[in-house]
Amino acid sequence: MKNYDRAEKLGQIEKVIGQGPYSDSWQSLSAYEVPKWHEKLRFGIFIHYGVFTVPAYDTEWYPRMMYVKGSRAYEHHIKTYGKHTDFGYKDFIPMFKAERFDPDAWADVFRRAGAQYVVPVAEHHDGFQMYESELSSFNAADMGPHKDIIGMLKKSVTDAGMIFGASSHRIEHYFFLGEGRDFESDITGEFKRGDLYWPSVKGPSDFDAIDGQCPPSEEFMQDWLVRTCELVDRYRPRILYFDWWIQRIELRPYLKKFLAYYYNRAAEWGDGVVVNYKHDAIPFGIAVPDVERGQLSSQRSYRWQSDTAMCFNSWCHTTENSYKKAEDILCDLIDIASKNGTMLLNIGPKEDGTFTEEETAILDTIGKWIERCGEAVFDTKPYRIFGEGPTEVAEGGFMDGSVKEFTSSDFRFFAGDGSVYAIALRCAHDGKYRISGFGRKQGLLNADIGKIVCLNDGNEADFEHREDCLMINAGAKTELPVAFRLYL
């Protein structure tokens, strides 16, 4: 069991904060600006990989739900592995071997898919670190695979020319395994800082509340700060994504300290960094807000992110996963980008470190479309309005449970390289596209159009620029969005 001098670690953090340029106050942190390179981001890869892939059942919340009496995971666990006193979550660790994990192969798949950045989960709610750590023995370098998964992946991702980020879900670990204390299990004992099962307290009834039940202890919050700063120093992620629960009032002093530490480190490195957050945990303007499994309904002047999964039911690999269609994911990516956002799309590798055929096919389809049509989204900026069409996009998180019925009348607009781009989210199988907002007297595009090229097939399209609309005739037949470049 590893242990560390908490006072010494906290003192080192205070030293970095004291050196500036940012102090741990909202006023000081408000001076931080999101770096320019983030404005070019449209598409990233999120990765949920860890011990929870061994049972490959239910969701990535299996570590919690296996201790919740009456749940599917609880019943499955007893039937498959036996009583919790004989086989608890910790006993999955030796089974997590990642024997076919190939970070170069992963990076190649992501690069060919058109991804610009990669954000693996460094520590999920289960408390098992996917990286080498001096703070706890429960990490992938010391146990399970005996590999520094995060370190290896960072090298491959950066070598492939993509931006490397990391995700920390550590704060939720405070209560995540606490249900195991409700009955006789391997979590009924007392544990110390550094143990996988520490502290395993009873969780709140409302996970989204900012106060009330289940206030995190001072020692746990200090450990959270030390762990998160260790992640920053070891791997220098240019993006750090936080899941929910950092909105707790009790954590705010430590959250401010972390932001000051991270931004000061970035100043030392000479490179801008980005923090993603949810639930207004951080005052607006200090970091980049994230919408989980959802989108915004209109264009924003500020940068934002949508994180979503390839599967409807889980973030991690399970044998029950229900996959989305690549064309629907592409529609969401285009919609998000047109509104000044970026999509972080999750992949859930299998325990051995390989991807499913479905995941590979989805990324391959997205990559081939980006190779042909990506200039419309990646080499541009959002247009003066995001688009037009009959299909409304509901605003808010957890809205991706149903497929949006986009039509060939749903367009998204971009501008760049002296051109305007219009993307029909669905193909018109009669080849006719009508863009009402681009009529000569509609106020959105009064310029003369020299020619229009359909990027899907590279062919020049016939068009008529009327007073009330722009009519385009194109021959591309596809299940994917159809992109047009309008040469002015």
pLDDT per residue as tens digits for the range 247-290: 999 999 999 999 999 999 999 999 899 999 999 999 999 999 99
Per the CB < 8 A criterion, the answer to whether 214 and 201 are in contact is yes
Can you tell me the mean pLDDT for 145-154? 98
230 within 8 A of 133, measured Cβ to Cβ? yes
Count the Cβ atoms, other than its own, within 10 Å of residue 69: 9
Asked whether 359 and 321 are in contact (CB, 8 A), the reply is: no
Neighbours of 206 (CB within 10 A): 10
Handedness of CA 135, 125, 237, 266 (dihedral sign): negative
Write down how long the chain is: 488
Residue listed under structure tokens 């207004």: 280
Torsion of CA 45, 48, 54, 60, to 10 degrees: -140
Identify the residue whose tokens are 């020319």: 161
Distance (Å, rounded) from C-alpha 345 to C-alpha 362? 11
* 122 contact partners, CB below 8 Å, separation of at least 6: 129, 130, 131, 150, 166, 167, 168, 231, 235
Query: In the prediction, which pLDDT does 154 show?
Result: 98
179 pLDDT above the threshold of 80: yes
Burial 1-36 (b: 16+ CB within 10 A, else e): eeebeeeebeeebeebbeeeebebeeebbeebebee
How far apart, in whole angstroms, are the C-alpha atoms of residue 242 and residue 238? 13
DSSP letter at 248 equals: -
- CATH architecture of the domain with range 381-487: Sandwich (2.60)
- What are the tokens at 228? 């998160």
Provide the pLDDT for residue 139: 98
CA distance 232 to 230: 5
C-alpha neighbours within 13 Å on the C-beta side of residue 58: 17
| Assigned architecture for domain 6-292 | Alpha-Beta Barrel (3.20)
Give the confidence band of 1 by pLDDT, cuts at 50, 70, 90: confident
> What mean pLDDT value characterizes the chain?
97
Contacts of residue 339, defined as CB under 8 A and 6 or more positions apart, other chains included, come to 295, 296, 298, 299, 300, 304, 382, 386
Show the tokens assigned to 325.
């269609």
**Domain residue ranges of the chain, discontinuous segments joined by +:** 6-292, 381-487
pLDDT, one tens digit per residue, over 111-139 is 999 999 999 999 999 999 999 999 999 99
pLDDT tens per residue, range 415-449: 999 999 999 999 999 999 999 999 999 989 999 99
Digit-coded pLDDT (tens) for 299-350 = 999 999 999 999 999 999 999 999 999 999 999 999 999 999 999 999 999 9
